[in-house]
Chains A and B, each alone.
Chain A
Amino acid sequence: MVGKASLIYVIGFAAILGYLNYNLSHQVTSASDASVMYYDSEAAHSLAMAGAQMALAKFLQDSTWNGPISYAASDPPGSYNVLRNGRTIRSIASYASSNGDMLRDTVEVYLGQRFNTENSFSVFAWMTNNENGVYWITGDTINGKMHSNGTLNINGSPVFTGKVTTTAAFSSPPGKNGNNAIFLDGYATKAENIQFPSDLSDLIYYAGPYLYNNDIWVSMEAGTPASGDGVALVRTSPMGFPLDTVRINVSGFNGVIAGRQNVHVQGTLDGLLTVTSQKDIYIDNNCVYEMDPRYTSSNDMLGLVAENNVVVVDNPVNYNNVTIQASIFARRGSFLAQNHTSTSSGSNGGKRGYIFLVGSIVQNTRGPVGSFVNGILQTGYSKSYTYDGRLANNMTRPPHYPGFYSWTLPITGWWEGYPRYDFSKIGL
């Protein structure tokens, strides 16, 4: 009798204590449920954020990117999928929570469209629409920003001190297949296409009375060593009597001398001047500033803007180096050396020394100034191009120098989904 009762006692108490133990254990473990739930929802949110950030990074590299980007991992057990629909980037994340539910979170990034103020082409040390298949090679150095709307061909280790951008791509990705270029300020491919102006009518307009219908020869003279007394003599033949003596720094002169035909230019500039041609510009001799901006404060600035080509003339005065201090713009053509493959130009089998350029070069198609074998000059000019650092300021440029507009897609809105806690899952 007592034995049976004891057995019932033991079983009964064991059951009661077991139940109490279960409840106690459950209480203890469930105390952390809320923080686990918070962790899970934060994990889902972080995944959605990561997706949005990845998409923006992609979009920064390639403004035509539309997605998708997908990512899935077992640790953490989640995924995200990102798409761009017009001006909205939507990142949707899924995360397997610790209680087995699938949590979802969304981040939406809204892009606006903003019209930038006009940029000057002279902010680029070098720009082309088309690189014409010419390679940048070891020994080449570009100081300042560089852009091409075409493919940039690189072989060896040229040095680019400013940021390099291309609307297309590199012939070989940086670091591969011989492209060992040194980018000191980075690079970006698939950048926005920068459109050249459709014509140079603005410059014609600003030239006003200084627009000439025939070929002209412009000789710049610095005057006295004092700043501000420079003139430009305009002739209709190389040695003819000056047709006009343009006082560069007087009020009423807009800073532009234009020709409907070819324009020849040379001399020393004191002031701000843009020389433009509806055809070609020929550099007959050195074009330099009275005050060299590399060594002293200078307010001299020259623009050479041609509808077609800007040409370094094949003549004896240019056979032993030529110095050009100017921002060069060739809308439909190139910056090139006349007869650059000639072996009879110059006194050394066609070698004419260096083009010492201080300024910037913007051209439709990259033009040749010399011929090289294994990087060694055979005919024409070697290059020594230095960017005029004053031009890096968008507001500093030769008078009415061409500019471009660019659209940007700034982030105008960023919406993050709220966490949605289901408290019933933790018995609250």
Chain B
Amino acid sequence: MRANYKVELASGVFLLIGVAALVWLATAATDFGQDIGDDTYTLSARFQDVADLRPGSPVKIGGVTIGKVESITLDPVSFEAVVSMSIASRYNEIPSDTGAAILTSGVLGDRYLGLEPGGAPDVLQDGDEMFITQSAFVLEQVIGKFIFSAGSEDGTE
């Protein structure tokens, strides 16, 4: 058994280092443990255009992630995109006149849903809808408008 002692110690140390490396990678180098938790409530908002917002995209107030987009569906009558999001329950005092806007992190970064808190005394409950919304900034449309308006200006002169 004396010879086996070294072998068992070395394999034990190896297994330990391997598991430690995995844990370190998970906590330091991935989004592991940054979930908002299971304790959430649901809000929704309607947009003309959600661009490339996806289920799983973060919902932020003041740059801090407070929830994520659960689903994006199309209202078959009004043809608006209905975004349903889950918000962590500890942020349960969001005013009812809060606005929602689809923003971009960086110039060409990922889309996220930014909430702009209003000042109303009553708060949003589970299942409520936000009515003040601002659609995504789509570069092609803005450039298109710019070219169009520049052209018409020339025409009137």
Asked if A and B are interacting partners, one says: no
Q: Which residues of B are at the interface with A, using a C-beta cutoff of 8 A?
A: none
Q: Which residues of A are at the interface with B, using a C-beta cutoff of 8 A?
A: none
